[in-house]
Amino acid sequence: MIKVGLVDDHKYDLEKLILSLKDQSNIEIVFSTMDAEEAYQKLKTTPIDLLITDIEMPKLSGYELADFINSYALDVKVIFVTGYSGYAVHAFELNVLDYIMKPYTKERLLKGINRFHVERKDSKSDKLVLRQKSEIFFIDKKNIIFIERTGRSTTIVTTEGEFSTYLPLNNLETELGSSNFFRSHRGFIINIHFVKSFSLYAKNSYITHFHQTKKTAMITKSNLDLLQEKYYT
């Protein structure tokens, strides 16, 4: 199932996107909006796989949304659906999945989305597999909020609940293999996609607060400086 967000400031064009996709069994429309700023907020808090967006819109352009996704290393692919050809070169510098010119057919749109399936098959698994005594869990990596190591036990906090394992953080860090995840502390790995804020805890450490959970993680001052330099400048 592909979780999709739709953005177009023209009502007719947004409705066309919705009508083209709503009956597709492998697509879930998570949000659709005419307001690019609303889409920006959704990207911060709502996990999706694919953003389909117009480019020229008031206040915030689709190009800026794609740049935000690229800059923050969000695990979201982008398809531009636009009436302007002049952005194509810059768009593909942001590694967009497709660039579709209006007017378009439903078949052309679905062809673009099919590229997502192809890339996902070719990419590293998007599931974290946890094997326990009598059960095997398949966790969507993009839904992991943070991971905490306490003693010999590791807790994986996700949008769908918590999972326990004896795997050390070094193993999990290698397995996750995504720029979304950051080793914030010797006992924590955080997903930067869910970070809401930081608050001072002690001279050399901060508490990390997240969207979608009240639980918190730790980050050292040096790692916070590194995180800000890497993602927020």
Task: Tell me the C-alpha distance between 156 and 119, whole Å.
Answer: 27
> What's residue 57's pLDDT?
94
Beta-carbon contacts of residue 88 (< 8 Å; ≥ 6 apart): 99
Task: Tell me the C-alpha distance between 223 and 58, whole Å.
Answer: 37
> What's residue 177's pLDDT?
73
> What's residue 73's pLDDT?
67
Task: Tell me the C-alpha distance between 18 and 47, whole Å.
Answer: 19
> What's residue 7's pLDDT?
98
> What's residue 133's pLDDT?
61
The CATH architecture assigned to 2-122 reads 3-Layer(aba) Sandwich (3.40)
**In this structure, which topology does domain 127-231 adopt according to CATH?**
OB fold (Dihydrolipoamide Acetyltransferase, E2P) (2.40.50)
How many whole angstroms from its chain centre is CA 64?
A: 16
> What's residue 90's pLDDT?
72
Give the position of tokens 């698994």: 125
Print burial letters for 65-96: b (CB count within 10 Å at least 16), e (below 16). bbebbeebbbbbbbbbbbeeeebeeebeebeb
> What's residue 17's pLDDT?
97
Phi and psi of 120, rounded to 5°? Answer: -65, -40
> What's residue 205's pLDDT?
93
Number of residues that make up the chain: 233
* 7, 48 contact by CB (below 8 A): no
**Domain residue ranges in the chain:** 2-122, 127-231
Task: Tell me the C-alpha distance between 110 and 17, whole Å.
Answer: 11
* 176, 161 contact by CB (below 8 A): no
> What's residue 35's pLDDT?
96
Q: What is the token pair recorded at 169?
A: 């953080």
Q: Residue ranges of the chain with pLDDT lower than 50?
A: 122
